[in-house]
Structure 1
Amino acid sequence: MKKAPILWLNVAVFSITFAIAAIGVPWYGLTVGLSAGLWWAALGLFCYAGLSITAGYHRLWSHRTYDAHWSVRLLFALGGALALQNSALHWSSDHREHHKHVDHDDNDPYSASRGFWYSHIGWMLREHQEDSYNDYANVKDLQRDPIVMWQHKHYLALTLGMNFGVPLLIGLLMGNVIGALLLCGFLRLVIGHHTTFFINSLAHIWGTRPYTERNSARDNGVLAFVTFGEGYHNFHHIFSGDYRNGIRWYQFDPTKWLIRGMSYVGLASKLKRASEYQIEKARLDMMWRRLQEHRETSAERLQHEYEDLLKQAKAYYQSKKALLDARTQVFKDQVEHSSLAARYRELKTEFRQERRRWRRMVRAAL
C-alpha cells in the first residue's frame, strides 16, 4: 500500500521543539542558569495548558459532560492554543472518531492496534485522514459555540501569541528572556505534548481493565498523576459521558475536582455522571467473566493433574500386584523380593501424596 504523505510541518514542529527541550534547556541551565521563578512559571503554564485540554477540549467539548460559563470556555480556548494540540474543533472531531471506532485501524485516528509509535505520535506525522475535515460533520454542535469557532478561525495567531508571547512576557518580568523561552516555552510544550500523547498510547497497553475488555483502554494511576486524571482510561471508554475519570475519592483526578469546584461558584453546571448501578454492573460483569475464565483454566489444569494421578495409581497397583505375585513364588530370589517391596513402598507413598494434593485442588476449584 502507498504510504500517506508526510506532514512536514508537524515533523518539523515535533523535531525542533524536542531537540531544543532535550539539548538547549540542559545546556543553558548548566552554562547560564535557570531561576526557581522560571521553573514555577513553567509548571504553572504546564498545568494551565494541561487542564485546558482535559477539562476543556476533552470533557467539556468532546464529550459534553458539563456546561461551562463563557469565561471558562474562553480560558480553555486560550489554554488549548498554549498546549498546541490543534483547535478545539479539530481535536474534538478526532476524539469522537476515536471513541466511535476505537481500535479499528481504518477509522480510529490513533488506533492503538497499530502499535505504540503510531498511536503516540506517528498518526500526526502523515496525512492519514486527508478527507476527514471537510465539514466537521461530527462536531456540528461545537460549530454553534462562538468561542470554539473564534479559536478555530484564529488558531495560528493564538498559538503564536500564547507559546511565544506569554513566555516572552514572563522573561521580561523575570529578567531572563531566553531562559523563559526555553523553559516556559519549549520544555513545557514538549512535556505537555508527550504526557497527553501517553493517553493514546500507554493508556491502551499498560494498566488494568476493571470495567470492560471490549477495547484496549486501561486504567493506570501513574498515568493519571501526569495527565491530570486522564489515566483512568478503561472507565472513560465505557462511561465517556461522565465528567469524572477517577470515580473513587482516592483516585487522582484534578480535572474532576476543578469541574466540581467550578460548579460550586456557578462557572460549571449540568455535571453528568454515569449510573452507579451501571458502573457496578460493569465491574461485576468483568469479575464474573474472569471467574469463568479462571474456572475454565482450572478445569483444564485439573484434567491434566487427574491424568497424572491415574498414571500414578496404575503404577502403584501394578507394583502391588507384582509384589503379591512374588510372595506366592516360594523359590523366588530373596533379593528380587526385597527390591519389589522397596519399589512398592515408594510408589505407595507417592500415590497417596498425589491423591491428597488432587483432593485439595478439587476443593479449591469448587
Structure 2
Amino acid sequence: MKKAPIVWVNLLVFLITGTIALTLVPYYAIVHGFDKIEIIATILCLGYCGMSITAGYHRLWSHKTYQAHAFVRWVYALGGAFALQNSILHWSSDHRNHHKHVDDNERDPYSAKMGFWHSHMGWMIREYQGKEYSNYKNVRDLEKDKIVMFQHKYYLPLTLATNFGIPFFLGWLNGDIIGMMLSAGVLRLVLSHHFTFFINSLAHLWGKQTYTANHTARDNHFLALLTYGEGYHNFHHTFEYDYRNGIKWWQFDPTKWFIKSASWLGLTYNLRTAPEERIEKARAQHHLSTLKERLIHLPQHSAVLEKLEHEYEVLMERLNEFYSAKKRLLDIKRKQLGKDYRKTDVYQQVQELKSKFENQKNRFLQFQLPQPA
C-alpha cells in the first residue's frame, strides 16, 4: 500500500526546532545560563500561545461556545500565528472534522485509534487526507470573520514576524538576543506544540471516561495542567458547545477563567453552557452502562441488576423533581425583581429536593457490585 506523501515543511519544522530544543537549549543553559527575565518571558510567551489556541482557535472559532470583541480576536489571531499551528481557518476545519468523525480512521484527521504517534503528530507529517486537508466547506461561517481571513491570507508573514520578531525584541531589551531566541523562541515553540498535541493523543488514551464511552476522549487532571484546562476531554467531546471544560470550581481550567473574567469587562459575551440536568443525566447513564457491563460476568446477576435499575430510576425521579422545582424558582426570581425569593415556599422546596437528589446520586454512584466467587 502506497504511503501518503510527506509534508516536508512540517517535518523540517518539527525536526529543526526539536533538535535545537534538545541540544542547543541545554548546552546554552549549562554554559551561559538563562536569567530570570528569560525564564519569565518564556513562560508568558508559552501561556500566550497556549491560551490563543484553547480560548481562541478551539473554544471561540472551532466550537463557537462564546463570542468575543474584535480586540480579543486580534489578540488570539496573533497568538495563534505565534503558536505556529496553522491558520484559524485551517485549524478549525480539521478540528470540526475531528469532532464530526471522531475515532473514524478514514475521516478523523487525528484518530486516536490509529495510535499515539499518529494522533500526536504523525497526521501532520504525511498528507493522509489528500484534498480533504484543504477543504474548508465546514468553516464557511468563519470566512465571514475579517480577522480570521486576514490571518489566513497573511499567515506566513505573521508567523515569521511573531516567532522571530517577539523573541528578538525581548532579547534586545534584556541584552541577550541568543538566550531569548533559544528560550522564548525555540523552547517555547516546541513545548507549545507538544502540549497542544497531547490533547489529540494522550487525552484520548489516558484518563477516565466520565460521561460516555461512545468516543475515546478522556478526562485527565494532569493533562489539564499542561493544556490550560483542555484535559477534561470526555466532557468536552460530550458537550462540545460548552465554553467550559472543567465544570467544577476546583478543576484547573484557566481558559474558562479567562473567558468568564473577560465577560465581566464586556470583551466576551453569549457564553454557552450545557444544562446541569443534561450533564447529570449523562454521567448517571454512563455509570449505569458501566455497571451493567460488569454485572454480565457475575453469577446471579439478575437480582443485582434489578436493584441497580431501581436505584437509577429513583435517581432520575429525584433529578427531574429537583430541576423542575429549580426552574420554577428561577421564574419567581425573575418576576420578583429584587425581592427576596429565598422566603418563598418554592425556595424551601428546592433545598429539600436538592438534598434528596444529592443523597440519591451518591447512593447510586457508590452502588457496590458483589464480588465474584
Q: Tell me the secondary structure at the aligned position of residue 23 of structure 2.
A: helix
What is the correspondence of 1:195-206 to structure 2 with a 5 Å cutoff?
Answer: 195-206=195-206
Pairing 1:326-365 to 2, within 5 Å after superposition:
none
- Deviations 1:243-287, CA, capped at 9 Å, x for gaps: 000001110000000000000000000000011111000000011
Structure 2, unaligned runs of 5 or more? 303-367
Structure 1, unmatched stretches of 5+, are 303-360
Match of residue 15 from structure 1: 15
Cα shift at 1:298: 2.2
Per-residue deviation at 1:134? 4.7
Aligned position for 1:117: 117
Identity percentage over the alignment? 56
Alignment match, 1:147: 147
Alignment of structure 1 residues 294-305 onto 2, 5 Å: 294-299=294-299
> 1:70 aligned to 2:48?
no
Residue in structure 2 matched with residue 59 of structure 1 by the alignment: 59
- Return the TM-score normalized by structure 1: 0.82
Partner Cα separation in structure 2 for residue 300 and residue 37 of structure 1: 66
- Paired residue for 2:293? 293
**Residue in 2 that maps onto 1:254:** 254
SS of the residue aligned with 1:50? helix
In 2, Cα distance between equivalents of 1:62 and 1:264 = 23
| Alpha-carbon separation, structure 2, partners of 1:268 and 1:163 | 27
Q: What amino acid is aligned across from residue 233 of structure 2 in structure 1?
A: H
The match for 1:350 is none
> TM-score by structure 2 length?
0.80
1:134–1:293 distance in 2 versus 1, CA, 3 Å: closer
Distance in 1 between residues matched to 2:123 and 2:143, nearest whole Å: 25
Instruction: Name the CA distance, whole Å, in 2 between partners of 1:135 and 1:206.
Output: 31
Q: Within 5 Å, which residues of 2 pair with 1:236-255? A: 236-255=236-255
- Could you tell me how far apart the structure 2 residues matched to 1:249 and 1:297 are? 38
Of the two, which has the highest radius of gyration? 1
C-alpha spacing 1:279/1:223, structure 2 compared with 1 (3 Å): same
Segment of structure 1 superposing worse, 178-187 or 288-297: 288-297
Q: Tell me how far apart the structure 1 counterparts of residues 144 and 125 of structure 2 sit (CA, whole Å).
A: 30
Please show how residues 1-366 of structure 1 align to structure 2 within 5 Å.
1-299=1-299
Instruction: For residues 87-116 of structure 1, give each alpha carbon's deviation from its aligned partner in whole angstroms, at most 9, with x where no partner exists.
Output: 000000000000000000000000000000
Aligned partners of 2:34 and 2:371: how far apart in 1? Answer: 62
Alpha carbon RMSD of aligned pairs, Å?
A: 1.7
Residues 200-232 of structure 1, C-alpha deviation per residue, up to 9 Å, x if partnerless? 000011000010100100000000011000000
Moved over 4 A (4+): 361-365
CA spacing shift, 1:198–1:300, aligned 2, 3 Å = farther
**For the structure 1 residues 300 and 127, does the alpha-carbon distance in structure 2 shift closer, same or farther, using more than 3 Å as the test?**
farther
